[in-house]
Amino acid sequence: MSNFRFNKIFLFIGLVLSSYIFSIEVLEVKMLDSYSITKKFPGKLLPIEQSKLAFEIPGKINNIFVDVGDSVKKGDVLAELDNREASAQLNQAKAAYELSEQILDRFKNLRQQGHISIQDLDKARSDYIIAKSQFEFFEVKLQQTNLLAPFNGVIQSRFLDTGTVINSGIPILEIIDSNYVEAHISVPVIYLKDMEIGKEYNFEFDGEMTKAVFSKLAPMSPGGSDSRLAIFKFNEFFNPGSIANLEIKITENLRGTWVPLKSLSQSDQGLWSVYTIENNIVVKDLIEIIYFEDDYAYVRGTLKNNDLIVLGGASKIIEGKRIN
């Protein structure tokens, strides 16, 4: 509580009709125009990117080069299918493409010499374009026999093994981003008004403090919730699945003061009371508790600046008694 301030005053006092002199501790009230509190909201850490990887074509798995926990770089070959058929088709398409290219060059010369018609040249040009497309198509098919890492990451799961015959789209591996994580936090709307996208906020993670950037705000499920999903991006990697706590410092503009809980006594109609010393007389002041934090409460009521609050409340003093 950054704006909690009071002064401790130790006095020796004697109660009227008592033969004993004993000490009590009192606090001097310092009235404040506002108070600051820290709210904590838990959220789960998630990888920014997470993908289940599959081959785009059917085939027999020839090799899987990685396992769970392995780190990979973008573009690394993670697994491959038996590529003999794709290689053969590519070689055939390459031969047809090269032949069509030679025929087209020859027909261009013949046309310049007037030995063939324009229709014959157009047919050679069309055959060349078709052959080139077929060659490029089978180039892609051969490339698709390799499963590549789409980003730098860590292998999270492995679903199949070498030798399995698969259809296209069957997941082989799962990869998560190894550079950054996000925290998804459900934050009540009343606290979002003071938050700003692009600003850094404090998080408590595994007993230590770190920071994350408020990157975007998404709606929650349409169930009448008064919260929104806030997404925070960390600039370092933490273990996905862990829980991190967002800490938001909130300032409320409300006049009052902080008092120790041990100075409070329960009163009627939901109110509380504290005992103060006024003109050497013990007086009871009624208060309303606004907020609790640790061993203190922020309260408002009949208290004024420089009032002396008796610690211990009714257990230490009696209302109406005179103090020597």
- In angstroms, the CA 153 to CA 175 distance is 6
Q: In this structure, are residues 159 and 172 in contact, taking their beta carbons and an 8 Å threshold?
A: yes
Beta bridge partners of 39: 248
- What pLDDT sits at residue 227? 85
Percent of the chain scored above 90 by pLDDT? 55
- What pLDDT sits at residue 284? 86
Q: In this structure, are residues 68 and 157 in contact, taking their beta carbons and an 8 Å threshold?
A: yes
3-class state of residue 173 by DSSP: strand
Tell me how far CA of residue 158 lies from CA of 68, 102, 150, 174, in angstroms: 6, 48, 16, 6
Q: What is the mean pLDDT of residues 219-231?
A: 75
pLDDT higher at 101 or 179: 101
CATH number for the domain formed by residue range(s) 40-48+180-252: 2.40.30.170
Domain boundaries, the chain: 7-34+254-315, 40-48+180-252, 83-144
**Fold of the domain built from segment(s) 7-34+254-315:** 2.40.420
Strand ranges for 104-242 from DSSP E: 146-148, 153-158, 165-166, 171-177, 181-188, 200-205, 208-219, 227-233
For residue 18, is pLDDT > 50? no
- What pLDDT sits at residue 319? 52
Pairing of strands 35-47, 243-252: antiparallel
**Fold of the domain built from segment(s) 83-144:** Helix Hairpins (1.10.287)
- What pLDDT sits at residue 8? 45
pLDDT in tens, 227-256: 889 999 998 888 888 899 999 988 888 999
Q: In this structure, are residues 313 and 263 in contact, taking their beta carbons and an 8 Å threshold?
A: yes
pLDDT higher at 224 or 278: 278
Q: What is the mean pLDDT of residues 268-275?
A: 81
- pLDDT band at 4; cut points 50, 70, 90: very low
pLDDT in tens, 77-92: 999 999 999 999 999 9
